[in-house]
Protein backbone atom coordinates (compact mmCIF):
# COMPACT_ATOMS: atom_id res chain seq x y z
CA UNK A 1 0.00 0.00 0.00
CA UNK A 2 1.28 3.47 -0.87
CA UNK A 3 1.17 6.17 1.77
CA UNK A 4 2.19 9.83 1.60
CA UNK A 5 5.53 10.32 3.39
CA UNK A 6 3.88 11.76 6.52
CA UNK A 7 1.05 9.24 6.56
CA UNK A 8 2.81 5.87 6.79
CA UNK A 9 1.89 3.73 9.82
CA UNK A 10 3.75 5.05 12.85
CA UNK A 11 4.29 8.50 11.37
CA UNK A 12 3.35 11.43 13.63
CA UNK A 13 0.62 12.60 11.23
CA UNK A 14 -1.85 10.19 9.59
CA UNK A 15 -4.36 12.69 8.22
CA UNK A 16 -6.89 11.07 5.93
CA UNK A 17 -6.32 7.47 7.02
CA UNK A 18 -9.31 5.91 8.80
CA UNK A 19 -8.67 4.23 12.15
CA UNK A 20 -9.28 0.80 10.64
CA UNK A 21 -6.34 1.46 8.29
CA UNK A 22 -8.15 0.66 5.05
CA UNK A 23 -7.61 3.36 2.44
CA UNK A 24 -9.85 3.86 -0.61
CA UNK A 25 -8.09 3.15 -3.89
CA UNK A 26 -8.48 6.73 -5.10
CA UNK A 27 -6.73 8.02 -1.96
CA UNK A 28 -3.74 5.74 -2.50
CA UNK A 29 -3.56 7.00 -6.11
CA UNK A 30 -3.85 10.57 -4.85
CA UNK A 31 -0.87 10.00 -2.53
CA UNK A 32 1.23 8.78 -5.46
CA UNK A 33 0.09 11.67 -7.63
CA UNK A 34 1.03 14.06 -4.82
CA UNK A 35 4.62 12.84 -5.06
CA UNK A 36 4.51 13.01 -8.85
CA UNK A 37 3.36 16.63 -8.60
CA UNK A 38 6.45 17.46 -6.53
CA UNK A 39 8.70 15.76 -9.09
CA UNK A 40 7.14 17.54 -12.07
CA UNK A 41 7.26 21.02 -10.52
CA UNK A 42 5.14 24.05 -11.35
CA UNK A 43 3.79 23.97 -14.90
CA UNK A 44 4.66 20.30 -15.39
CA UNK A 45 2.18 18.36 -17.53
CA UNK A 46 0.45 15.44 -15.81
CA UNK A 47 0.23 12.18 -17.81
CA UNK A 48 -3.18 11.35 -19.25
CA UNK A 49 -5.79 9.53 -17.19
CA UNK A 50 -5.29 6.46 -19.39
CA UNK A 51 -1.53 6.45 -18.80
CA UNK A 52 -1.98 6.90 -15.06
CA UNK A 53 -4.62 4.18 -14.79
CA UNK A 54 -2.26 1.75 -16.54
CA UNK A 55 0.70 2.84 -14.40
CA UNK A 56 -1.18 2.41 -11.11
CA UNK A 57 -3.34 -0.52 -12.31
CA UNK A 58 -6.63 1.08 -11.35
CA UNK A 59 -9.76 2.20 -13.19
CA UNK A 60 -9.74 5.57 -14.95
CA UNK A 61 -12.57 6.79 -12.68
CA UNK A 62 -10.30 6.14 -9.67
CA UNK A 63 -7.60 8.30 -11.25
CA UNK A 64 -10.17 10.90 -12.20
CA UNK A 65 -11.37 11.21 -8.59
CA UNK A 66 -7.81 11.59 -7.28
CA UNK A 67 -7.06 14.30 -9.85
CA UNK A 68 -10.34 16.06 -9.08
CA UNK A 69 -9.39 16.36 -5.40
CA UNK A 70 -5.91 17.67 -6.22
CA UNK A 71 -7.49 20.27 -8.50
CA UNK A 72 -9.84 21.37 -5.72
CA UNK A 73 -6.87 21.60 -3.34
CA UNK A 74 -5.06 23.85 -5.82
CA UNK A 75 -2.16 21.47 -6.50
CA UNK A 76 -3.23 20.84 -10.09
CA UNK A 77 -5.11 22.99 -12.60
CA UNK A 78 -6.77 22.37 -15.92
CA UNK A 79 -5.03 23.87 -18.94
CA UNK A 80 -6.65 23.37 -22.30
CA UNK A 81 -7.28 19.64 -22.63
CA UNK A 82 -4.59 18.68 -20.13
CA UNK A 83 -3.76 19.02 -16.44
CA UNK A 84 -0.66 20.80 -15.14
CA UNK A 85 0.96 21.37 -11.76
CA UNK A 86 -0.28 24.61 -10.23
CA UNK A 87 1.94 27.14 -8.51
CA UNK A 88 1.70 27.91 -4.79
CA UNK A 89 -1.49 29.52 -3.52
CA UNK A 90 -1.61 33.28 -3.26
CA UNK A 91 -1.52 34.36 0.37
CA UNK A 92 -3.72 37.37 1.04
CA UNK A 93 -3.42 39.12 4.41
CA UNK A 94 -6.55 39.83 6.40
CA UNK A 95 -5.84 43.52 6.84
CA UNK A 96 -6.75 46.93 5.45
CA UNK A 97 -4.39 46.37 2.55
CA UNK A 98 -5.34 46.23 -1.10
CA UNK A 99 -5.40 43.17 -3.32
CA UNK A 100 -2.63 44.81 -5.35
CA UNK A 101 -0.26 44.97 -2.37
CA UNK A 102 -0.90 41.37 -1.38
CA UNK A 103 -0.22 39.98 -4.86
CA UNK A 104 2.88 42.11 -5.47
CA UNK A 105 4.45 40.93 -2.22
CA UNK A 106 4.55 37.44 -3.71
CA UNK A 107 6.24 38.50 -6.91
CA UNK A 108 3.11 38.25 -9.02
CA UNK A 109 1.64 40.94 -11.26
CA UNK A 110 -1.84 42.07 -10.19
CA UNK A 111 -4.46 43.22 -12.66
CA UNK A 112 -8.18 43.73 -13.08
CA UNK A 113 -10.67 43.57 -15.92
CA UNK A 114 -13.64 45.92 -15.65
CA UNK A 115 -17.02 44.19 -15.83
CA UNK A 116 -19.28 47.11 -14.99
CA UNK A 117 -19.30 50.59 -13.46
CA UNK A 118 -22.73 52.04 -12.90
CA UNK A 119 -24.70 54.06 -10.36
CA UNK A 120 -28.08 53.57 -8.71
CA UNK A 121 -30.04 54.74 -5.64
CA UNK A 122 -28.83 53.08 -2.44
CA UNK A 123 -31.26 50.24 -1.57
CA UNK A 124 -32.49 49.51 1.95
CA UNK A 125 -30.21 46.50 2.52
CA UNK A 126 -27.05 48.37 1.53
CA UNK A 127 -28.06 51.40 3.61
CA UNK A 128 -28.62 49.18 6.67
CA UNK A 129 -25.22 47.52 6.24
CA UNK A 130 -23.12 50.61 5.62
CA UNK A 131 -24.88 53.54 7.24
CA UNK A 132 -25.38 55.26 3.89
CA UNK A 133 -28.66 57.07 3.31
CA UNK A 134 -31.42 55.16 1.56
CA UNK A 135 -31.82 56.44 -2.00
CA UNK A 136 -28.56 58.39 -2.20
CA UNK A 137 -26.56 57.73 -5.41
CA UNK A 138 -24.10 54.82 -5.11
CA UNK A 139 -21.41 53.60 -7.49
CA UNK A 140 -21.13 49.86 -8.21
CA UNK A 141 -17.69 48.85 -9.49
CA UNK A 142 -17.33 45.21 -10.54
CA UNK A 143 -13.98 43.79 -11.67
CA UNK A 144 -12.37 40.42 -12.39
CA UNK A 145 -9.17 40.03 -10.35
CA UNK A 146 -6.03 38.82 -12.13
CA UNK A 147 -2.65 37.47 -11.03
CA UNK A 148 -0.15 37.21 -13.89
CA UNK A 149 -3.14 37.37 -16.26
CA UNK A 150 -4.79 34.39 -14.55
CA UNK A 151 -8.38 35.06 -13.44
CA UNK A 152 -8.50 34.42 -9.69
CA UNK A 153 -11.47 36.35 -8.32
CA UNK A 154 -14.37 38.75 -8.73
CA UNK A 155 -14.77 41.97 -6.76
CA UNK A 156 -17.85 44.18 -6.33
CA UNK A 157 -17.36 47.56 -4.64
CA UNK A 158 -20.13 49.94 -3.55
CA UNK A 159 -19.27 53.52 -2.62
CA UNK A 160 -21.32 56.72 -2.31
CA UNK A 161 -21.15 58.96 -5.38
CA UNK A 162 -20.82 61.96 -3.03
CA UNK A 163 -17.48 60.60 -1.76
CA UNK A 164 -15.97 60.03 -5.23
CA UNK A 165 -18.12 61.91 -7.77
CA UNK A 166 -15.60 61.50 -10.61
CA UNK A 167 -14.97 57.79 -10.21
CA UNK A 168 -16.21 57.10 -13.74
CA UNK A 169 -13.81 59.62 -15.33
CA UNK A 170 -10.74 59.85 -13.06
CA UNK A 171 -10.22 56.26 -11.92
CA UNK A 172 -8.31 53.62 -13.91
CA UNK A 173 -10.27 50.35 -13.41
CA UNK A 174 -7.05 48.32 -13.74
CA UNK A 175 -5.47 50.05 -10.73
CA UNK A 176 -5.83 49.81 -6.97
CA UNK A 177 -9.01 51.46 -5.69
CA UNK A 178 -7.46 51.83 -2.23
CA UNK A 179 -4.39 53.63 -3.60
CA UNK A 180 -6.64 55.93 -5.64
CA UNK A 181 -8.78 56.78 -2.61
CA UNK A 182 -5.66 57.66 -0.62
CA UNK A 183 -4.53 59.92 -3.48
CA UNK A 184 -7.89 61.71 -3.12
CA UNK A 185 -7.11 62.34 0.55
CA UNK A 186 -9.49 59.63 1.82
CA UNK A 187 -7.95 57.40 4.48
CA UNK A 188 -9.18 54.07 5.84
CA UNK A 189 -9.95 53.88 9.54
CA UNK A 190 -11.41 50.46 10.30
CA UNK A 191 -13.52 47.71 8.75
CA UNK A 192 -15.73 44.74 9.57
CA UNK A 193 -14.98 41.60 7.59
CA UNK A 194 -16.69 38.24 7.23
CA UNK A 195 -15.38 35.14 5.39
CA UNK A 196 -17.43 32.17 4.22
CA UNK A 197 -17.20 29.31 1.74
CA UNK A 198 -19.66 29.37 -1.17
CA UNK A 199 -20.17 28.13 -4.70
CA UNK A 200 -20.14 30.73 -7.46
CA UNK A 201 -23.30 31.45 -9.41
CA UNK A 202 -23.22 30.43 -13.10
CA UNK A 203 -22.55 34.07 -14.04
CA UNK A 204 -19.71 34.42 -11.52
CA UNK A 205 -18.13 31.12 -12.58
CA UNK A 206 -18.23 32.25 -16.21
CA UNK A 207 -16.56 35.58 -15.38
CA UNK A 208 -13.84 33.93 -13.28
CA UNK A 209 -13.43 31.04 -15.71
CA UNK A 210 -14.01 28.19 -13.26
CA UNK A 211 -16.40 25.24 -12.98
CA UNK A 212 -19.51 26.10 -10.91
CA UNK A 213 -18.62 23.28 -8.49
CA UNK A 214 -15.29 24.84 -7.48
CA UNK A 215 -15.45 26.12 -3.87
CA UNK A 216 -14.95 29.86 -3.47
CA UNK A 217 -13.89 32.00 -0.54
CA UNK A 218 -16.29 34.91 -0.16
CA UNK A 219 -15.24 37.99 1.78
CA UNK A 220 -17.69 40.71 2.82
CA UNK A 221 -16.11 43.97 4.00
CA UNK A 222 -17.65 47.21 5.23
CA UNK A 223 -15.03 49.96 5.60
CA UNK A 224 -15.09 53.33 7.32
CA UNK A 225 -12.79 56.32 7.01
CA UNK A 226 -10.61 57.78 9.76
CA UNK A 227 -13.58 59.77 11.07
CA UNK A 228 -15.82 56.70 11.30
CA UNK A 229 -17.98 57.59 8.30
CA UNK A 230 -19.09 54.80 5.91
CA UNK A 231 -16.72 54.46 2.99
CA UNK A 232 -17.23 51.27 0.99
CA UNK A 233 -18.95 47.91 0.90
CA UNK A 234 -16.97 45.18 -0.86
CA UNK A 235 -17.97 41.66 -1.85
CA UNK A 236 -15.04 39.61 -3.16
CA UNK A 237 -15.02 36.04 -4.45
CA UNK A 238 -11.63 34.32 -4.43
CA UNK A 239 -10.90 30.96 -6.03
CA UNK A 240 -10.59 28.43 -3.23
CA UNK A 241 -7.91 26.52 -5.16
CA UNK A 242 -5.71 29.60 -5.66
CA UNK A 243 -5.98 31.54 -2.39
CA UNK A 244 -5.29 31.21 1.30
CA UNK A 245 -5.64 33.95 3.91
CA UNK A 246 -3.25 34.86 6.69
CA UNK A 247 -3.38 37.01 9.79
CA UNK A 248 -1.22 37.72 12.81
CA UNK A 249 -2.76 37.14 16.23
CA UNK A 250 -1.41 38.45 19.48
CA UNK A 251 -2.46 37.40 22.96
Q: How far is CA 2 from the centre of its chain?
A: 32
Tell me if 53 is assigned to some domain: yes
Same domain for 146 and 45, yes or no, is no
Strand bridging mode 82-85 / 110-121: unpaired
What pLDDT sits at residue 72?
Answer: 74
Same domain for 192 and 162, yes or no, is yes
Tell me if 115 is assigned to some domain: yes
When divided into structural domains, the chain yields a total of: 2
10 Å CB burial of residue 33 (0-12, 13-18, 19+) is buried
The tens digit of pLDDT for each residue in 95-154 reads 666 677 777 877 788 899 999 999 999 999 999 988 889 999 999 999 999 988 889 999
How far apart (Å, rounded) are the C-alpha atoms in residues 56 and 66? 12
> How confident is the model over 240-245, as a mean pLDDT?
78
The tens digit of pLDDT for each residue in 147-181 reads 888 899 999 999 999 999 999 999 999 999 988 99
Whether the per-residue pLDDT at 5 is higher than 80: the answer is no
Count of beta carbons in the 10 Å neighbourhood of residue 81? 6
The tens digit of pLDDT for each residue in 180-217 reads 999 999 988 888 888 888 888 889 999 998 888 788 88
Tell me if 11 is assigned to some domain: no
Tell me if 130 is assigned to some domain: yes
- At 52, which CATH number? 1.10.10.10
Tell me if 114 is assigned to some domain: yes
**Do 223 and 234 meet the contact criterion of CB atoms below 8 Å apart?**
yes
Who wins on pLDDT, 12 or 142? Answer: 142
What domain range includes position 100?
A: 90-246
Same domain for 50 and 167, yes or no, is no
What single DSSP character describes residue 8?
S
Whether the per-residue pLDDT at 21 is higher than 70: the answer is no
Same domain for 103 and 188, yes or no, is yes
How far apart (Å, rounded) are the C-alpha atoms in residues 52 and 28? 13
Q: Whole-prediction pTM value? A: 0.70
Buried b (16+ CB within 10 A) or exposed e, 86-123: bbebbebeeeeebbbebbeeeebebbbeebeeeeeebe
Tell me if 211 is assigned to some domain: yes
What pLDDT sits at residue 162?
Answer: 94
**Do 47 and 55 meet the contact criterion of CB atoms below 8 Å apart?**
yes
Instruction: Catalogue the E-assigned strands of 95-135.
Output: 110-121
What pLDDT sits at residue 23?
Answer: 76
Same domain for 117 and 80, yes or no, is no
Same domain for 38 and 55, yes or no, is yes
What pLDDT sits at residue 20?
Answer: 62
**Do 197 and 240 meet the contact criterion of CB atoms below 8 Å apart?**
yes
Amino acid sequence: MDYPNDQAPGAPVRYGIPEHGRIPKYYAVKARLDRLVEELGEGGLLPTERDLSERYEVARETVRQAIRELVLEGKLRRQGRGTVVAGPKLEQPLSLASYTEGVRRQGRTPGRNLVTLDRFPCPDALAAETGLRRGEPVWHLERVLLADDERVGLESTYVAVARVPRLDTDFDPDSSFYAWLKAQGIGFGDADECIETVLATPREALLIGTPPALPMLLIHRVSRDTEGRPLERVRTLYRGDRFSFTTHLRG
